[in-house]
Amino acid sequence: KAGVTQTPRYLIKTRGQQVTLSCSPISGHRSVSWYQQTPGQGLQFLFEYFSETQRNKGNFPGRFSGRQFSNSRSEMNVSTLELGDSALYLCASSLKKEVADTQYFGPGTRLTVL
């Protein structure tokens, strides 16, 4: 079974631009969660989607948004990029039959904002 894939793996943008990151979950997984990882703040939850609906949202500004498609693939968008948005963005998928279901993480997209 293929793992979680994220594209692109690396991305360089400039302040003020917007960016879209993509995540393909493991086949059969209906839940996709997004996380931001930085050296200073560690791993922080962004949002979770299940069956195309956002179920949970972390404490991030409205510039961060996401969506999930009918095939469970998910995208996250960051508008008006700031230097502080430079981070590793991780997506994780799970069956989500239970709260503590195992989450399988992708390798991440490393975003650098100049």
45 near another protein (CB under 8 A): yes
Can you tell me the distance from the alpha carbon of 62 to that of 71, in angstroms, rounded to the nearest whole number? 25
**Contact yes or no for 20/75 (Cβ under 8 A):** yes
Nearest-angstrom CA–CA distance, 93 and 101: 10
The residue behind tokens 């989450």 is 103
The CA distances from residue 64 to 40, 48, 76, 105, in Å, are 19, 12, 7, 19
Size of the site for another protein (CB under 8 A): 22
The residue from 34, 66, 106, 111 that contacts another protein (CB under 8 A) is: 106
- The least distance separating another protein from the CB of residue 16, rounded to whole angstroms, comes to 29
Point out which span in 13-21, 63-71, 76-84, 100-108 binds another protein (CB under 8 A).
Answer: 100-108
Residues 1, 2, 28, 42: which binds another protein (CB under 8 A)?
Answer: 42
What amino acid is encoded at 102 in this protein? T
Helix, strand, coil % in the chain, rounded to nearest 5: 5, 55, 45
Is 100 one of the binding residues for another protein (CB under 8 A)? yes
Binders in 22-41 for another protein, by CB under 8 A: 33, 35
Query: With binding defined as CB under 8 A, does residue 102 bind another protein?
Result: yes
Which structure tokens are listed for 78? Answer: 């960051």
Residues that bind another protein (CB under 8 A): 4, 33, 35, 42-45, 48, 55-56, 58, 90, 92, 99-100, 102-108
